Amino acid sequence: MTLSIGFTLNGKAVSMEADPAERLLDTLRYRLGLTGTKEGCGEGECGACTVYLDGLPVNSCLVPTYQVRGARVETIEALDPVQLGPFLEQGATQCGACTPGVVMTALWISAHPELLETHTVRELMAGNLCRCTGYDGIVDAVATTIGEVGEGGRGKGEA
């Protein structure tokens, strides 16, 4: 059994048949060719598969495709690279496997600076695992994006 669904993907209307068990992550990667969204764990732990669903970051490995019926989905492919300067400068990417997910979460945080009144960048980024950077580069890039110096004034990781 498959279900007919329609949704908006990166600003364009999409309609397709989806198996009820199909994950949004696989739909994006294997059926729609949007391979920027990565799989790191397949169970909601690593955040590599982060996309925006109606403007909110979600783990696309946990979202059945049929559930995005009528919704707005945005992936890394839709982001404006102009915002990425600080990520390059601060060394926020190494192997890159976590990176699209990290960027999705990071840019969402910088679009919602009010979150930083109650949470630290480190808390907000904790859903995105990175095995390469040790997180300083990522945290510093977010801090730069939102115009902060870095945590405790020494976020640059330089002693």
Partner 1 sequence: MQRREGLAKLTGRERYVDDLPLEGALWGMTVRSPAPRGRVSAVRFRPDVNWSEIVVVDYRDVPTANEILLIERDQPVLAAGYVRHVHEAVLLVAHPSREMARRAARAVDVVVAPEPPALDFRAPPRPEQIQFGRDNVLKRLQIAKGDVEQALARAPVVVEGVYETGAQEHVYLETQGMIAWLENDVLVVKGSMQCPYYVLNALQHALGRDERRVRVIQTPTGGGFGGKEEYPSTIALHAALLALKAGRPVKMVYDRPEDMASTTKRHPSLVRHRTALTTDGRLLAQDIEVVLDGGAYVTLSPVVLSRGIIHAAGPYACDNVRIVGRAMFTNAVPFGAFRGFGAPQTLFALERHMDVIARALGLDPVELRRRNLLRDGQSTATGQVIRDGTDRIAVLERALALSGYREKQHSHAAFNAAQRSQRRGIGLATFYHGAGFTGGGEVHLNSRLQVAGLPDGRVEVLSANIEMGQGTLTVFTQIVADRLGLAPEEVVIGEPDTARVPNSGPTVASRTTMVVGRLIERAADDLRHRVGLDDRARGAAVKDAIMRWHREHRGEPLLGEAVYERPPGIAWDEERYQGDAYAAFAWAAYVAEVEVDLRTCTTRVIDFVAVQEVGKVINPTLARGQVQGGVVQGLGWALMEECKVENGAMINNQLTNYIIPTSDDVPPIRVAFVENPYPHGAQGAKGLGELPIDGPAPAILNAVAAATGADPRAIPLTAERLMEIVERTH
Residues that bind partner 1 (CB under 8 A): 29, 33, 35-43, 45-46, 48, 75-77, 79, 81, 84, 87-100, 103, 120-123, 125-139, 150-152, 154-155, 157-159
Shortest spacing between CB 70 and partner 1, in angstroms: 25
Q: How far apart are CA 128 and CA 139, in angstroms?
A: 11
18 or 106, CB closer to ligand FES?
106
107 or 118, CB closer to ligand FES?
107
Please write down the long-range contacts of 7-16, taking CB distance under 8 Å and 24 or more positions apart. 7/68, 7/69, 7/70, 7/71, 7/72, 7/73, 8/71, 8/72, 8/73, 9/34, 9/73, 9/74, 9/75, 10/34, 10/73, 10/74, 10/75, 10/77, 10/78, 11/74, 11/78, 16/65
61 binds, among partner 1, ligand FES, none (CB under 5 to 8 A by kind): ligand FES
Which residues of this chain interact with ligand FES, rule CB under 6 A?
39-42, 44-49, 59, 61, 93-99, 130-133
49 binds, among partner 1, ligand FES, none (CB under 5 to 8 A by kind): ligand FES
